[in-house]
């Protein structure tokens, strides 16, 4: 009987070590909050088949980009995803001072979050998937619609 207890504890310890090595680390905290849409300006629309995406951001962010400056901390960039004439979901990018300092493979100080049509947090959408695609746009505030701001 005394042999079984250390053996069982050793097995649990080994399983814990394995989990630490194999399982992914906990995701970073997501600080993105849903913005006041009334305070944002529409700057472009993207249509992909039956999906219409309206892009919004703050007047301050638009002015900064047009002046060749970085978007200010606190900026929200909102993609409003319409399907069948109704809001299907929101994707939000938000920039915060130092948000990217502690993480490898970042998108600067931008974080991403999906929201349901009722503006509640949509945790089923993987924000890291957004980050993975947007990493390729480091020269344009990690945005795919950056040039649309400049063309207005």
CATH of the domain at 42: 3.50.70.20
pLDDT at position 18, please?
43
The total number of structural domains in the chain stands at 1
Across 1-10, 67-76, 91-100, 126-135, least confident range? 1-10
135: helix, strand or coil: helix
- Bridge pairing between strands 41-48 and 51-57: antiparallel
What is this structure's pTM?
A: 0.78
When pLDDT is cut at 50, 70 and 90, the band that residue 106 belongs to is confident
pLDDT at position 15, please?
46
Query: Which domain covers residue 108, as residue numbers?
Result: 30-150
Per the domain annotation, does 13 fall within a domain? no
Q: What percent of the chain has pLDDT over 70?
A: 80
Per the domain annotation, does 23 fall within a domain? no
Per the domain annotation, does 15 fall within a domain? no
CA distances 144 to 80, 88, 134, 148, Å, are 14, 20, 8, 9
């Amino acid at each position: 009987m005394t042999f079984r207890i250390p053996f069982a504890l050793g097995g649990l310890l080994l399983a814990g070590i394995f989990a630490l090595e194999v399982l992914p680390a906990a995701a970073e905290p997501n600080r993105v909050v849903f913005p006041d849409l009334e305070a944002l300006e529409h700057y472009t629309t993207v249509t992909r088949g039956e999906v219409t995406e309206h892009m919004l951001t703050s007047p301050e962010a638009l002015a900064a980009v047009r002046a060749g400056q970085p978007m200010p901390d606190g900026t929200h960039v909102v993609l409003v995803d319409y399907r069948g004439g109704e809001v299907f979901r929101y994707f939000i990018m938000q920039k915060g001072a130092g948000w990217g300092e502690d993480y490898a493979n970042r998108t600067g100080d931008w974080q991403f979050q999906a929201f349901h049509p009722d503006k509640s947090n949509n945790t089923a959408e993987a924000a890291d998937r957004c980050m993975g695609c947007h990493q390729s746009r480091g020269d344009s505030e990690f945005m795919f619609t950056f040039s649309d701001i400049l063309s207005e």
